[in-house]
């Protein structure tokens, strides 16, 4: 049976980079997003061109109804069987970058519900399926990979709610790694740096200057393909004794330097 991965937020940006890297390694895919399937048809077609099966699970990770829709669509795709890989990538940025003293409750809830609360309960649901599948067949391979951000530790006072959510997601990764370790299900965290996507399009000029000025050890933007390659390596099972670990994909941005 083919390996099946669910990639949340997988139709564009980092999520599509991850999906494409997995498709290249012959993973069948369920792509999650909030848009109509017709709006992501081009992305799905590109993935199917790799010769793999690709389904679409529309739903907002941040809502219970959305998560139930994702679960239902994914189980329909697999015929009721557990997926082998969950990649929690979907995330949102604050609609308005506001100073910490001006952050609204509405913005906080919007970001945290999607980037942290929703990930917790989606992971919980799929982890239950993985544990059951592993108990039924010890050879069943399952992995969970959470895409966080350097914002888990790097402070940005004009988007505090985003930093808090990513820091929480980092702890979520360790919690599930500890809980699922005895079940033989590794959990990893991939922590991107400054990645060129639609989410960073509005701050391109800012980061162009910072990167030119030495922000990163490797003097360039990161790309979705950089994240995809890291996820694909983890999903191959190349790091079987490293559950709970963080893979930095930031070009050396967070490396302490003098």
Per-residue pLDDT reduced to its tens digit, 111-170: 999 999 999 999 999 999 999 999 999 999 999 999 999 999 999 999 999 999 999 999
What is the phi/psi pair of residue 222, to 5°? -85, 160
Query: Distances in Å between the alpha carbon of 117 and those of 120, 166, 177, 217?
Result: 5, 11, 17, 33
pTM of the entire structure?
A: 0.97
pLDDT at 229: 98
Q: Tell me the average pLDDT across 12-29.
A: 98
**CA geometry: angle at 64 spanning 96 and 247, to 5°?**
65
Superfamily, domain 4-247: NAD(P)-binding Rossmann-like Domain (3.40.50.720)
First to last CA, the chain: 52
Beta strands, E only, 11-62: 28-33, 54-58
Span 52-71, average pLDDT? 98
Which residue shows structure tokens 């991939």?
Answer: 190
Residue 209 in this model has a pLDDT that exceeds 80: yes
Cβ-contact 69, 58 below 8 angstroms: yes
pLDDT band at 201 (very low <50, low <70, confident <90, very high): confident
Structure tokens at 208: 């162009």
Q: Which residues have C-beta within 8 Å of that of residue 252, sequence separation ≥ 6?
A: 216, 217, 218
247 burial via Cβ count (<10 Å: 0-12, 13-18, 19+): middle
Q: What percent of the chain has pLDDT over 70?
A: 100
Predicted pLDDT at 199: 82
Q: What is the pLDDT of residue 202?
A: 85
Is the per-residue pLDDT at 200 higher than 90?
no
What pLDDT shows up at residue 1?
A: 65
Distance from chain centroid for Cα 172? 13
162 belongs to the catalytic site: yes
Lowest-confidence segment of 2-16, 109-123, 135-149, 192-206 by average pLDDT:
192-206
Q: How far apart are CA 24 and CA 51, in angstroms?
A: 9
Residues with Cβ within 8 Å of 160's Cβ and at least 6 positions away in sequence, in order, are 100, 103
- pLDDT confidence tier of residue 197, bands split at 50, 70 and 90: very high
Q: Annotated catalytic residue: which of 56, 143, 162, 188?
A: 162
Please report, for the chain, the start and end positions of each structural domain, with discontinuous segments joined by +.
Answer: 4-247
pLDDT for the residue numbered 109:
98
């Amino acid at each position: 049976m083919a390996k099946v991965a669910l990639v949340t937020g997988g139709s564009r940006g980092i999520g599509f980079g991850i999906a494409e890297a997995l498709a290249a390694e012959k993973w069948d895919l369920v792509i999650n997003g909030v848009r109509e399937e017709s709006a992501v048809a081009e992305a799905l077609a590109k993935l199917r061109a790799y010769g793999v099966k690709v389904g679409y699970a529309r739903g907002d990770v941040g809502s219970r109804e959305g998560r139930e829709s994702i679960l239902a669509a994914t189980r329909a795709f697999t015929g009721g069987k557990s997926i082998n890989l969950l990649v929690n990538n979907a995330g949102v940025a604050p609609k308005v970058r506001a100073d910490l003293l001006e952050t609204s409750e509405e913005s906080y809830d919007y970001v945290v519900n999607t980037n942290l609360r929703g990930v917790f309960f989606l992971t919980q649901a799929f982890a239950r399926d993985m544990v059951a599948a592993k108990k039924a067949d010890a050879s069943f391979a399952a992995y969970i990979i959470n895409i966080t951000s350097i914002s888990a530790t790097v402070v940005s006072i004009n988007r505090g709610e985003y930093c808090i959510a990513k820091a929480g997601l980092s702890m979520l990764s360790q919690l599930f790694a500890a809980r699922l370790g005895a079940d033989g299900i590794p959990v990893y965290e991939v922590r991107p740096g400054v990645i060129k996507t639609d989410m960073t399009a509005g701050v391109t000029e800012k980061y162009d200057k910072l990167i030119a000025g030495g922000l990163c050890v490797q003097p360039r933007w990161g790309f979705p393909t950089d994240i995809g390659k890291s996820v694909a390596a983890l999903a191959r099972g190349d790091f079987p004794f490293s559950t709970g670990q963080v893979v930095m994909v930031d070009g050396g941005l967070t490396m302490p330097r003098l």
